[in-house]
Structures are given as C-alpha cells and as structure tokens.
Structure 1
Amino acid sequence: MPLSPDAQRVVDNSAARMAKAMHEIPVAELRAALAASAIPVVTPIHQSRDVVVPSAGGGVRVRIYRPSDDPGLPVVQWMHSGGFAVGNLDQNEEYLRKLSIASQAVIVSVDYRLAPEHPCPAALDDCREVWEWITSAPDELRSVDVTRAVLAGESAGGALSFALSHQLRDEGLPLPAAQISLYGTAVMEVTNPEHATALLSPEDCYWFWGMYVPDPADRNSRQASPGLAPDLGGLPPALVVTAEIDPTRDGTEEYARRMQEAGVQVDLRRYEGMMHGFATMTTVLPAAKELFDRIVDYLAEVFTRQR
C-alpha cells in the first residue's frame, strides 16, 4: 500500500522544507537543520540531567531522564537516529521524557560520536562504554535495577542496538534484558529501493553508510553488519519495528526472522503505510502513538519478566 494520507502530508512537508535531498546537503548544514526542527519540550519530568561518562574516546555525554526518586527503577539506554552522522541529545528530548514517565524507567540517552569525523566503530564504542557504565550501577543512576536494563534505538540507534547486543554476546558480557530497534538495519544493504521518500532514499542510505564506514569492504564487518553473523543464537529478546515504506525494510525483517529461527524471542511488527522515521512523530501520526504505546507495553512485559 502507499503512504497513509497523514504520512504523505508529513513527507510532503519535509520535502517542501528541504531544498535538496539529504545526501546533497553538507553534513554540517544538515545537522543544523535537524537541530532546529527538534520537537519543543513541554512535558515536565522529575529529573533531567547531563553527565559525562568516562571513556577511551574522551568521555561520552549522556542525558538521564528519571520519572521519580523511587529506588530500583529499570533502565533503558537510548541511541538516537541520524545515519551515524547527525543528531544529538535534544532531538528526542520530548519523546524520551514521555517514554520515561509512561514506562517508569530511567532513560539514558547517548550522545555518541558522529561520522565522518568519527567513523565506525566510534559510535559503537561509545554506546558500549555507556552500557558498561550503566551495568556498573554508578552513583549517578541512584540504585537502578541493572537486571532490568534494555537497549533501544531508532534507525542508526536501532542498528547500534543490534551491533552492541552481538558484541556483548560474543564477549560473554552482561546482556540487556531486551533490545528494541525501530527500523534499524542489521546489514548495510538497500533491499527496497522502490520505497524512497524525502525522509530516506537509497542514495541517502549509501551517503550515510559511506561516512560511517568509508571502505565498502568493511561494511560486511560484524561492527557494521551484525546480521551477517552465521550464529544468531543467544541474543537478547527483541522488539523489531519496521515501516512499510523504507528502503531497508526487507533486510531488517529477514534479520528478525533469522533471530527467531535461532531461538531468540522476537516481536516483529511492520507498520503499514508508514515511512522510515515515523516513530517519534506521535503528535501527527496515530501509528506513531500506537507504536509508542506498544513500546511501553513491551517494556512492562520485559521488566515484569526480569523481576
């Protein structure tokens, strides 16, 4: 089916605001444009604070959202979208405040290093440093329950969730209670070129991947394309979300099915009539609000199972 009418309006409005396709815009200019379009913050929350997590790369800034002072809250590590090259802590501020309150979880949003200045594996390294910090139960998190820690991300952030889950499994390190990927890729491959929109085209995909992994041969590495791993057993349970109109949709769905075949508990959901990038548009897309509610329910299921 084509884009739903409300999704088509979003895409048309985005196309009207952008004089060029994303891959034709200098990355610094694109970063500034996306930063300027962040959803205004209107939801009050008990606490939001920035902390710098020590790391080999010079420190990773994170933003911690806390819905209450209750001890023993579960925790979600969130990785933002942006093709590994754009995005920051502000872009999901309103969404994550709402998610923290609705799920009653501490959320740690990661300001990972961006390509092309910092190519692969810089972003993955930063996310791993933050994960190891979270699971060490630092004072800054004030008695979170690390047995109920989840990895989650949108687009590039979802890809980082996949890659980090593999890395942790392979090295025998503490695994998340679950992983959530909102149309993140497990393999750097365009499988549905017919599903291009102003929000993501095949050319945009290759442009972003080219900044993050400049050598095409390296795009088959486990750090860039964990879905190429022959063994998917032993990975954390996963909520895998795809959008019907997405150039990378089939590759992500195939990865989810392969995880299921390997014995991983996977909840795979495709949102018909939606495009890549829809998830955080909860005020204009009913499907995004439906997905938000599903994420909250999924987290509740995971947190209850881990008690």
Structure 2
Amino acid sequence: MALTADAQRLIDGIAADMKLPMHTSSVGELRASYAARMTAPTTEIHSVRDVVVPSAAGGVPVRVYRPTDEESLPVVMWLHSGGCVFGGLDQNSEYLRKLSLAAGVVVVSVDYRLAPEHPHPAALEDCRIVWDWLVSGPPEVPADVTRAVVAGESAGGTLTFALTQQLRDSAGSLPVAQVSFYGAAEMRVSNPEQRCLIASPEDCEWFWDLYAPDPQSRQFPDVSPGLARDLTGLPPTFVVTAEVDPTRDATEAYAQRLAAAGVDVNLMRYEGVMHGFATMLGALPQARNVFDRTVAFLASILASPRAGT
C-alpha cells in the first residue's frame, strides 16, 4: 500500500481543515467541518432547481441539474457520500454540474435522511421514494425517464446497490444501469491493512454503528447488498474501487459475483489512491480518469436499444 504524492498531499490538506480520522469527532463537529470545506460551484449550467419530493416523512429534497432545455435527455439519480451520516445537496455541486454537461444528462441529487437521527432504513426509503417519483415522469423533471441511471459515491454507492436489488425484488422499474464509486457491498472491514486518515477501518465501523445500530441488520442485503444470494436480473454495473480502502475486497468480490450471475460489469481498481478520490477533480489525475470513463460508460448505455433510443 502506497499513496501517490498527490493523494498524500490532498489528505494532508484535508487534515488541516477537518479533525481526522473522522470517528474522533462528534457527528455535529464532523458535519460542521465538512460543510465549512465546501466551495461555491463555478461551472455554468443551464439550470439548477430544488424540488421537494412528497413523502410520509415530510418530503425528500432533491436538486435538479439540467445541461440544456431539451426535454428528452436521460437522467442520472445521484446519491451522495458521507457514511449516511453527513453530506447533502451542496455536496458535489461542481462535480455534478460537470457530469451533467459532459454526459448530456439531467442529474437529480437526493438529500436522503441521515443517521443517527434517522437510521436504516430511512435513507434507502428516501432513495426509493425519489426513484419511483422520478420514473413516473414528474413535470418538475421533464426528461426521458426510460433512460434513467442510479449512481452514487461511497455510502451512496452502497445505497445504489441496495436500491437496484430492492427494485428487482419488488418488480419496480429498474434503472438501465447502476454506477458505484467504492460503495461498500458489505458492512464489514475486508481490508484492515488498507488504512489512511480518510475512511479508516475505525471510521467505517463508527458510521455503520450510527447507520445500522442493530448488528443483525447488517446481515441482510438491504444493508449489505453483497450478501444477497440471487444477483441475476440486475442492470449493467460500473464499479470503481480504490487501493487504499478497508472495504475494497468485499466490493470487488460483489462485482465479480455480479459478473458470474450474467450482469454486464465494468470493474476498475485505482492504485495509489484512497476511498473518496473519484470526485476530487482537479486534485488527482485518477479522478479525471474515472470521470472520463464514467461519461463514456453512460454514453454507451444511454445510446443502446435497451435504453429506448
């Protein structure tokens, strides 16, 4: 295990602004320090609109990024990172603008409820509510909802895996593809030797204790999707992992099981970088490579006959 010099410098810079490892902070301290690091987006885009999707819990806020006024664009539903404990709509705003423009897609970012105030299954319930709303063709998001993808980073990647399984099992409307940047397929540390100040094994355990406080719940696929027995019938899958990530091996094993079940899988491991690297455009060349490959994957999927074109 060896981080690149660029990756180590990036971690050192984050550590200057935030208390690391993250589990040494309180939840409130972590949320505040993370929010303080956010900067205003600079990339111009056609429109950005906030919408509240109706729900029994009072509504799920979403942010809609639109690259043009065209009403037949495909859609990417984005689920943010943060261990299901921190993060929100202001997270990844610059990244999602760039993704929307480069891929020619409407991006719908979901502000799902967070633990510990709202432990599992609240986040997954919110994601399902937004997905069902989105594919119904709401007037707030004029788009080609027959070409819709679910994508997420870290905790959002785990929710992506869990949501697609839930949709398949309940005869819901499946996405045409799923994208996961180092989403943990199981809530266990599979690589304890892979550690750095970001997403340490202890951080992972802390987040899981907050999100799924009942250890027994972690044995079910809606929390640990890698434990599902049947992986057939799931959509084409794009998975990115990082060398320095204590959940890496379990996630790669899940991707390999998907492929064995007949799912079209793209799995890429990036050496010398840590969990969380993929959305750090401008800071790490590996992040730019992931971005370009993600855009290419979306183009191939969203232009296919299966996607309704």
Shorter-chain TM band: over 0.9
| 1-structure distance, mates of 2:153, 2:20 | 23
Residue 198 (structure 1) aligns with: 197
- Residue 2 in structure 1 maps to residue 2 in structure 2: yes
Comparing 221-230 with 122-131, greater Cα deviation is found at 221-230
8 Å CA contact 2:49–2:63 kept in 1: the answer is: yes
Q: Shift of the alpha carbon at 1:222?
A: 1.8
Alignment of 1:1-307 (within 5 A): 1-142=1-142, 144-305=143-304, 306=307, 307=309
| 1-structure distance, mates of 2:74, 2:242 | 28
Question: Normalised by the size of structure 2, how large is the TM-score?
Answer: 0.97
Q: What amino acid sits opposite 1:128 in the alignment?
A: R
Q: What amino acid sits opposite 1:112 in the alignment?
A: Y
Identical counterparts, % of pairs: 60
Q: Shift of the alpha carbon at 1:14?
A: 2.1
Q: What amino acid sits opposite 1:199 in the alignment?
A: I
| 2-structure distance, mates of 1:277, 1:211 | 20
8 Å CA contact 2:20–2:197 kept in 1: the answer is: no
| 1-structure distance, mates of 2:211, 2:20 | 21
Are the structure 2 counterparts of residues 256 and 44 from structure 1 closer, same or farther at C-alpha, using a change threshold of 3 Å? Answer: same
Residue-pair matches, total: 306
Q: Shift of the alpha carbon at 1:71?
A: 1.9
- Deviation string 1:141-188 (CA, Å, 9 cap, x unpaired) is 12x111110000000000000000000000111100000000001111
Comparing 108-117 with 212-221, greater Cα deviation is found at 212-221
Flag structure 1 segments of 5+ consecutive residues without an equivalent.
none
8 Å CA contact 2:50–2:63 kept in 1: the answer is: yes
Q: What amino acid sits opposite 1:154 in the alignment?
A: E
| 1-structure distance, mates of 2:191, 2:238 | 21
Q: What amino acid sits opposite 1:10 in the alignment?
A: L
8 Å CA contact 2:20–2:198 kept in 1: the answer is: no
Q: Shift of the alpha carbon at 1:21?
A: 2.1
Comparing 32-41 with 90-99, greater Cα deviation is found at 32-41
8 Å CA contact 2:18–2:33 kept in 1: the answer is: no
8 Å CA contact 1:72–1:145 kept in 2: the answer is: yes
Q: Shift of the alpha carbon at 1:24?
A: 1.3
8 Å CA contact 1:39–1:92 kept in 2: the answer is: no
- Deviation string 1:115-154 (CA, Å, 9 cap, x unpaired) is 0000000000000000001100000012x11111000000
Q: Shift of the alpha carbon at 1:91?
A: 1.3
8 Å CA contact 1:22–1:30 kept in 2: the answer is: yes
Q: Shift of the alpha carbon at 1:20?
A: 4.4
Q: What amino acid sits opposite 1:282 in the alignment?
A: L
* Secondary structure of 1:140's aligned partner: coil
8 Å CA contact 2:22–2:203 kept in 1: the answer is: yes
Question: Normalised by the size of structure 1, how large is the TM-score?
Answer: 0.98
* Secondary structure of 1:139's aligned partner: coil
| 1-structure distance, mates of 2:134, 2:245 | 32
| 2-structure distance, mates of 1:242, 1:75 | 24
| 1-structure distance, mates of 2:144, 2:102 | 17
8 Å CA contact 2:83–2:155 kept in 1: the answer is: yes
| 1-structure distance, mates of 2:278, 2:198 | 12
8 Å CA contact 2:47–2:65 kept in 1: the answer is: yes
Q: Shift of the alpha carbon at 1:217?
A: 1.1
